[in-house]
Structure 1
Amino acid sequence: MSAWNVSVLTGATSDTEPTLLVNFGTAKYIFNASEGMGRAWLQSHHSIRKTKGLFVTAAGTHRCGGVPGLLMLCADAAVPAIDIVGPYGLMHYLATMRSYTYRSTMVVKAVEAPTALVSAQPAASPSPVFKDENLSVYSIPLYPSVDGVDIGEPSTRPLKRKRSASPPTASKRSTPPLIDRAVESTSPVSPTLSVQARRENFNPTSLTGADAQEWRKLMLQEMFPMQPPPKADPSTSKGAKRRANALQEPADEPPPPQNMTFAPDRKYARLPGLVAGGGVDPATLPTLGYLCVGPSVRGKFDVKRAEELGVRGPLRGRLTKGETITFEVDDGQGGKIQRTVRPEECVGPSEAPQAVLILDVPTPAHIPSLLASFTDSPFFAKYRSKDENIRKEHPLHAVYHLCGEGVLEDERYKEFMNGFSDETHHLISSREHTADKITFTRSALVQAKLHQLDAEMFPLPKSKQSPPRDITSITGLPAKAAPAEPNILLHVRPVRPPVQDELAREDEFNPLVAAGSLPELSDSVREKVAAVKAAVAERMGRNSPATAPGDDVVITPLGTGSAVPTKMRNVSGTLIQIPGHGSILLDCGEGTWGQLVRSFGDEPDGVWQVMRDLKCIFLSHMHGDHHMGLSKILMMRAKMDPPPPEPLYVVGLRSHLMYILERQELEDHGLSNPNGVVMILSDALNWRFPRPYGRNQVEDEPFMNQDRSYEHAKAMCRALGLSSFTTVDVAHRIRCYGVVIRHNDGWGITFSADTMPTDNLVKAGRDVTLLIHESSMSPEEEDLAREKAHSTSAQAIDIGRRMRAKYLLLTHFSARYPGMPPRQGDGSSGGPIIGIAFDFARIRMGDMWKLNAYLPAIQHTFNEFGEDDEVEIDLTKLQ
């Protein structure tokens, strides 16, 4: 019952960041949820159903990019409640998700851990930030040294922040006070704030300190409005008691309010800022370490001794619970005497609870704070001791080190590691010492097979099978130090050394790369591939197509799935590369950065050159599968040195642009960088006339100036060589735009976004060269497509025919089709030449006919994969 283990679910790769899974069998606890974590979970053997807690070590995309998708997976798996714990800024991060995240079937409670450093806490034992029947979790805030001041000095411990420039705003924001206690999202909203929120002139950006935090909590309650279940009565079942204890609600606390009365547009007003001026230097924000202490285990019951003492029946159960019992026994002379038996007379000593430690140390500047946490706190010091007597009472089985650049080789850090018992295991995640292997191996394996059909159109995903530096080259590490590689399993109780998880699915791709091999094709697939290649070669030799404007434009689908990622497909993202001008990214779902790296490689002339050339990101609508990768793209671009030579224009709805501003509070998105982000309101580029917003949605928002957006759009068109960039309102569940892009050379591309068939797209995109259209459903599923506000493949083909598009690329396939997606027709009947989009394909617009010709061989290849049963998880339920 008390057995538990820790698995490394994902590692530090281009696809993912480190995620740890603590598993008790009856409950699971996740540590960090970066982009790609949900997709990695889907290809693992782990079930999501018993998830109870999520703990993040930093508030930002780096550690939280996969939180919305994780919450969706949990809700769809009927998880009734989940606790989220993180550092300062967690509530702000969660509140930025309010425009695209909603679930009424699951309770979500968020807690910001105390920001006071360890020495400011009670010397005996700090309070856990989370506690249930399995785990007691204690937080350790880690701050960087600021301006050369050692944060380890007690006199300098209050939070100290630098301010970074931010876009101009009329609101003045003051720095919130240091929060010295955990802040829970389920505590009641202030009555005073409730009154303020109903006032006509109320603006959340005016809130500061505790009121600002109250507003963020209210936003989370709006996203997850279900009330928690009532407290269980002591007489109820053990299961009910466990569920009640897991919620950790004070007995006298009322349930959170539902549907609080305030104007609907207040929910979408800009959030209160974290610091004055609306900006924060991410380098000064804290990370968290977590000490996870398992349950105490009762000693073994001595049955023989109990018999000798006359202890029988229910009395034995009372002893095992730690009670002293008194009962009557025969005195041997026909009378009765009372006997008292203490637990220790029949029950062996309890087993000390095992523990693991998780540390996120992003820079060497965080090391002094870490050292102080273990020298100044007697509680944490007990878990870092070589004294065997202390270790028996406070055993620490393992430390997981999430190390940023330069940390692991720092002599101070190595000394810190060696201060633990020699029996403690050290599992290390460090990009400097980790191979960048492919995470999503099934998708890569498909690409490797298609590579044998056309190496140029289906290039192999890029990876690095060996680390930049071997971890064994670092001197002075503890003897039991090893890399925290995916699928490393550590049994904490019973205590065992780290091993490879035997249940993990076999990696079919990376060993082939390491050996320099390609996957073998079956005889039937090889024959079909050979026949198709011969037919294409014959056509090219017989009648090579004449070069037409736009033939050299390259389309790279980065994600061709819908709603949620699958083993085969990532969610929406399509890169358009215009030679000599730059690139456009159409939508930017979670994991887009990883897909770019796998497509072009983590080299100066690879993904970093793509980022320098990227001049426009178009975001069609606020459903999460179309924009949740935006923050990661902007963060990585902002780190480039030297910076890109031209601005990046982000074209989106008001909610997209507000989202960028709010995320800038926590991490640098490059809004104030030279050649940084320029925001364009997509409504201002409407093909007919600008669509309006409500009156309260234009105040204090410079990007809502449509004339300014129009001028920025003209500059963007000049940079890309375009004659026009026009948004088209399409038929989806929420405000959604497609786009028509026309180039000065005469070619054009129309992108449908998510939509039912609409005449708007036909009229606005007439005679374009290429239509990229969503094709979520099969031709037989028109009713389902209408219900979900999507299109069937037959409807997409009809739109292309009516539009008189030369080519049609179908994409955005439902997870109901894990293999080859449905299609109908091939363009031979006078309609457009049809191609099907695949992740990582690199398609010259002039080679669309080739992609069409390859479809029989591609179909044959997919037929042999034997994918799992159909899956349908609709991200629109999040809205």
Structure 2
Amino acid sequence: MTFADSGNKRVTVTGPTGLLHFLASRRMAVMRSSMELKHTEVPSSTVEDATPAPVFVDDRITVYAFPIHAEHATTEPTDEKSPSEAGPSIPAKRKRSSSPAGPSKRPPTKAASDHELDESVATAEDAIHPDEAEAAADTDTPDYNTLCDTDPQKWRTLIVNSMFPLQGPELTPEEEFAIRKRTRREQKMRENYLRAGLPIPPALRQPSTAPSSQPKFTAIRSDRGRRLPRFTYGPEGRATLCYVLVGPTGRGHFDREKAELLQVPRGPERARLTKGETVKFMVDDGAGNKIERTVTPEECMGPPEIPRAMVLLDVPTPSHIPDVVKSFTQNPFYSEFHSNPATDPREPVVHVVYHLCGKGVLEDERYKAFMRGFPEDTHQVVSSREHGDDRVVFSRAAYNQLRLGLLDPDMFPLPTHRPGPRRDLSSIPGLPARVEHLRHSCHVELRPAREPCIDPFAKPDFFTPVIEAGAGTWVPEDVHRAFLKAKKKISKVKEVGREPRSGDNVEIVPLGTCSALASLYRNASSTLVRIPGHGSILLDAGEGTWGQLARLYGDDGQDTVTGVWEVLRDLRCIFASHMHGDHHLGLSKILAMRKLLDPAPTQPLYFIGLPSHIIYLEEHSELEDLGLNQADGNGVIAISGNHLRWNPKNSKEQQRRDIPEHILLRRQEKTQQDVENMYNALGLKCFTTVDVAHRTKCYGTVIEHRDGWRIVFSADTMPSNKLVEAGQNATLLIHEATMADDQEEMAHDKAHSTFSQAMKVASDMQAENILLTHFSARYPRMPPTTSLPDSPRASPSPGPHLGLAFDQTRFTIGDMWKMKFYLRAIELNMGDVAQDDDEDTMISSWD
């Protein structure tokens, strides 16, 4: 989607078997009509006795890909089990294969799952009107039920193609926005007719926009509440891909002396020779006669340049070593890249090999012997967590955090980092001579072939050395005075004393505070709520949430007990508010990492989201074990947010009449038991979802604890009266403030809130504290504060304690009163950081 927003019209993605299923599972969150996405799914088996077809070719490079598999026990998975439930698979012998291996041919289950039924009864907003269904049936889109049985891979292809159709003329962003706005208005009018039980007028049955400018998402619309055809890996099991990139064969140098001896005329004939063509021309034989002479390129061209190659090997575990070794010893094509330099100038020479090594791979004697099999002059670059440092990645943001730590080290902790490796490569015996660890900004050029070197044009990093020193941080004089003034005021308030209140010890950790996409200082949306003695709740999980957790709490890679793993083990609930990707695309990564905990969790993790979220997780779990519905009951238990809605009087009208009553009752009983178990685990009195006004179906939430405190989370929304009513007397309101007050019209069009609107919601709700978050990328460092009630430049007014969310800060609700004293100091500090930062900021919008 970032590619599409930056103007790229065509992108090709290559991956292993399951790539199409992976892409199609994102259909309810990821789509762009302005781009075409091509996909190449590499077969699970390779061809041994023929040159494989490249996965990418242009005039400069040719790329080949081959899969490797882990060696497992001899238990073959049955068709009745999902990949997460199935036992280890047998590595199959390599066989001839000229097309991607498809998923299991077992017909998918006809009966819909509970969550598919949930989706069909979700709300009127999600339902497809019969008129729309009839219109969809008139298109040439093949039938779902037919393709599920005959060619499920084709259905996935149709889904992906409809996500990125590149249809119609190229439109400006303003034109696309106008079309989307008009389409949403018409959709809203259709929904109103549906709710009123009135027939939809003919003019509203189809979008009024021209077909050439309005992309057809028929396949997505008709498949919205339905799972993809079920995917299972073949007998080879899950594969990882390795790549070989071959550069061009450069022509030899033109030998002018030989051309003069052969009397090759200057001009077109010499140009044709350099292109590899044979030329004929007339010359004087010395006796005054003209004769025809034929000259081949070999007669006046030097030897061609030997093509250079790069090999990329992804070896996640030692059990993958036998297969990668086999690929370079038994396969006649790839074995040429693992031998001594070729004497044939047309044969490529491997210039560099990149080894992406999982734990224990580099120390394995089999792999070290394999590395030594490459030519001695081959550069071998290793990427391994065990043998590399763990430096600060986003040094500018960390430097800002370091300076704010002078103001309050508890609220602004420095990201964890380790300058040096746990184990140096030189301590591993038996490695090749020309081996080094992957370095930031290190370039290895293939043509002309050069030694690895640091990119001379890379921007120098002035911040990391200061961060690693950890002391002596300099701040400007005015910022230093502001820091001291804020601390002095806080000391005076502490002397007066403050009565302790319920919820004071609940910790709030903003992990991502940007809207749409990450910026230099802010990640996509996510907020962690830590309840002492009970566990944690994660409110949304945008892309990169796991990385934010790991940077804040630390991941030494040695165990799954301390640091971020301890926080992950303590996680009891994840809430996803809506299907926009910046709020949930980091979810599957967190669940996959939870499966790596050792020892395994002894309590379940409850996930609350839309039925669309649950379907997405179920589909993704067929590719990667996410711990859904584990037999021991300590996996991920999904609860549809529809069952927790704040407005129960409308629940009956949301249920479709075509669902048998006994199914509804059984599902409700199970869900109610899961909800009670979640309440007991977290000490909650209730967890309520509230419909809020956004451009798609979206829930806010009210979390009420038995100790008496209440947290309200707005998600993405315009000011919502429902949220105000449901969250009365909140201890803390976490509310989006995407736009500044001068962008009120844009906020309305995008169904977001301005700063002042969020403050009015808090006032109407009579909230004690408000934390503003989800800032537009227009404000990458510090959102405008001049209009906020607690701003030093605004007139003072009574109301809740105001806080602005910054990534990777940590504070308790009981400390939020300090934030209004910090605001001016933070603003001055951010202004100074901005002077040092000349990076451009991308302004975009998820919707």
Q: TM-score, normalised by structure 2?
A: 0.82
In the alignment, structure 1 residue 270 sits paired with structure 2 residue 223:
no
Corresponding residue pairs, total:
746
Alpha-carbon distance between aligned partners in 2 of 1:260 and 1:473, rounded to the nearest angstrom: 57
Displacement of 1:812 after TM fit? 0.4
Displacement of 1:208 after TM fit? 5.9
In the alignment, structure 1 residue 683 sits paired with structure 2 residue 628:
no
Contact 2:159–2:220 (Cα < 8 Å) also in 1: no
1:759-800 CA-to-partner distances (Å, cap 9, x unmatched) read: 111111111011111011111110111121111111111111
Which of 364, 368, 383 is the matching residue for 1:410? 364
SS at match of 2:546: helix
SS at match of 1:532: helix
Change (3 A) 1:464 1:516: same
Moved more, 464-473 or 868-877: 868-877
1:188-244 CA-to-partner distances (Å, cap 9, x unmatched) read: xxxxxxx9x9599x9958866871111111111011112699xxxxxxxxxxxxxxx
Aligned to 1:133: 59
Which of 553, 562, 567 is the matching residue for 1:610? 567
In the alignment, residue 855 of structure 1 is paired with which amino acid? L
Displacement of 1:262 after TM fit? 5.6
In the alignment, structure 1 residue 549 sits paired with structure 2 residue 502:
yes
Alpha-carbon distance between aligned partners in 1 of 2:770 and 2:817, rounded to the nearest angstrom: 10
Aligned to 1:812: 774
Aligned to 1:775: 737
Moved more, 711-720 or 698-707: 698-707
Change (3 A) 1:448 1:516: closer
Displacement of 1:874 after TM fit? 3.4
Displacement of 1:463 after TM fit? 1.6
Which of 582, 590, 594 is the matching residue for 1:633? 590
Contact 1:773–1:810 (Cα < 8 Å) also in 2: yes
Displacement of 1:264 after TM fit? 2.5
Aligned to 2:27: 98
Change (3 A) 1:535 1:494: same
Aligned to 2:601: 644
Displacement of 1:271 after TM fit? 1.1
Displacement of 1:512 after TM fit? 3.0
Contact 1:204–1:270 (Cα < 8 Å) also in 2: no
Alpha-carbon distance between aligned partners in 1 of 2:336 and 2:666, rounded to the nearest angstrom: 56
Contact 1:465–1:510 (Cα < 8 Å) also in 2: no
Contact 1:740–1:765 (Cα < 8 Å) also in 2: yes
In the alignment, structure 1 residue 79 sits paired with structure 2 residue 2:
no
In the alignment, residue 251 of structure 2 is paired with which amino acid? R
Alpha-carbon distance between aligned partners in 1 of 2:388 and 2:53, rounded to the nearest angstrom: 35
Moved more, 727-736 or 297-306: 297-306
- Residues 515-530 of structure 1: matches in 2 within 5 Å? 515-517=469-471, 519-530=473-484
1:251-291 CA-to-partner distances (Å, cap 9, x unmatched) read: xxxxxx9848668232441111222xxxx699931111100
SS at match of 1:378: coil
Change (3 A) 1:496 1:126: same
In the alignment, structure 1 residue 349 sits paired with structure 2 residue 303:
yes
Contact 2:357–2:383 (Cα < 8 Å) also in 1: yes
Change (3 A) 1:261 1:780: closer
SS at match of 2:283: strand
Displacement of 1:375 after TM fit? 1.3
Alpha-carbon distance between aligned partners in 1 of 2:660 and 2:409, rounded to the nearest angstrom: 50
- Segments of 5+ residues of structure 1 without an aligned counterpart are 1-71, 150-158, 169-174, 186-194, 230-256
Which of 422, 429, 439 is the matching residue for 2:383? 429
Contact 2:27–2:220 (Cα < 8 Å) also in 1: no
Contact 1:771–1:807 (Cα < 8 Å) also in 2: yes
1:328-384 CA-to-partner distances (Å, cap 9, x unmatched) read: 234555553222111122222221211000001111111111111111122211111
Alpha-carbon distance between aligned partners in 1 of 2:469 and 2:541, rounded to the nearest angstrom: 33
Contact 1:757–1:799 (Cα < 8 Å) also in 2: yes
Alpha-carbon distance between aligned partners in 2 of 1:480 and 1:209, rounded to the nearest angstrom: 53
Displacement of 1:609 after TM fit? 1.9
SS at match of 1:83: strand
Aligned to 1:317: 271
Contact 1:82–1:109 (Cα < 8 Å) also in 2: yes
Alpha-carbon distance between aligned partners in 1 of 2:71 and 2:39, rounded to the nearest angstrom: 28
In the alignment, residue 825 of structure 1 is paired with which amino acid? L
In the alignment, residue 719 of structure 1 is paired with which amino acid? A
Which of 551, 554, 559 is the matching residue for 2:512? 559
1:372-428 CA-to-partner distances (Å, cap 9, x unmatched) read: 111112221111112552688321100000111111111110000000100001100
In the alignment, structure 1 residue 585 sits paired with structure 2 residue 538:
yes
SS at match of 1:398: strand
Change (3 A) 1:701 1:427: farther
Alpha-carbon distance between aligned partners in 2 of 1:551 and 1:658, rounded to the nearest angstrom: 37
1:550-585 CA-to-partner distances (Å, cap 9, x unmatched) read: 111110000011111111011100001111111110
Contact 2:33–2:167 (Cα < 8 Å) also in 1: no
Aligned to 2:681: 719
Alpha-carbon distance between aligned partners in 2 of 1:698 and 1:737, rounded to the nearest angstrom: 27
Alpha-carbon distance between aligned partners in 2 of 1:790 and 1:592, rounded to the nearest angstrom: 22
What value does the CA root-mean-square deviation take over the aligned residues?
3.3
- Residues 161-560 of structure 1: matches in 2 within 5 Å? 180-183=97-100, 211-226=151-166, 259=216, 264-275=221-232, 284-308=237-261, 309-331=263-285, 335-387=289-341, 389=343, 393-517=347-471, 519-541=473-495, 543-560=496-513
Aligned to 1:837: 805
Change (3 A) 1:700 1:449: farther
Change (3 A) 1:366 1:161: farther
Aligned to 2:763: 801
Contact 1:680–1:710 (Cα < 8 Å) also in 2: no
Contact 1:770–1:805 (Cα < 8 Å) also in 2: yes
In the alignment, residue 663 of structure 1 is paired with which amino acid? H
Change (3 A) 1:421 1:505: same
Alpha-carbon distance between aligned partners in 2 of 1:638 and 1:703, rounded to the nearest angstrom: 32
Change (3 A) 1:874 1:452: same
Alpha-carbon distance between aligned partners in 2 of 1:799 and 1:103, rounded to the nearest angstrom: 33
Which of 855, 868, 871 is the matching residue for 2:823? 855
Alpha-carbon distance between aligned partners in 2 of 1:836 and 1:704, rounded to the nearest angstrom: 44
Aligned to 2:115: none
Change (3 A) 1:92 1:165: closer
Displacement of 1:680 after TM fit? 0.6
Contact 1:753–1:773 (Cα < 8 Å) also in 2: yes
In the alignment, residue 767 of structure 2 is paired with which amino acid? A
Which of 814, 833, 839 is the matching residue for 1:865? 833
Contact 2:508–2:528 (Cα < 8 Å) also in 1: yes
Aligned to 2:719: 757
Alpha-carbon distance between aligned partners in 2 of 1:346 and 1:609, rounded to the nearest angstrom: 70
1:728-768 CA-to-partner distances (Å, cap 9, x unmatched) read: 11111100010011111211111110011121111111110
Contact 2:158–2:219 (Cα < 8 Å) also in 1: no
In the alignment, residue 847 of structure 1 is paired with which amino acid? D
Alpha-carbon distance between aligned partners in 1 of 2:806 and 2:275, rounded to the nearest angstrom: 60
In the alignment, residue 763 of structure 1 is paired with which amino acid? E
Alpha-carbon distance between aligned partners in 2 of 1:352 and 1:678, rounded to the nearest angstrom: 57
Change (3 A) 1:873 1:346: same
- Segments of 5+ residues of structure 2 without an aligned counterpart are 86-91, 103-133, 170-213, 791-795
In the alignment, residue 35 of structure 2 is paired with which amino acid? M
SS at match of 1:519: coil
Alpha-carbon distance between aligned partners in 2 of 1:113 and 1:522, rounded to the nearest angstrom: 56
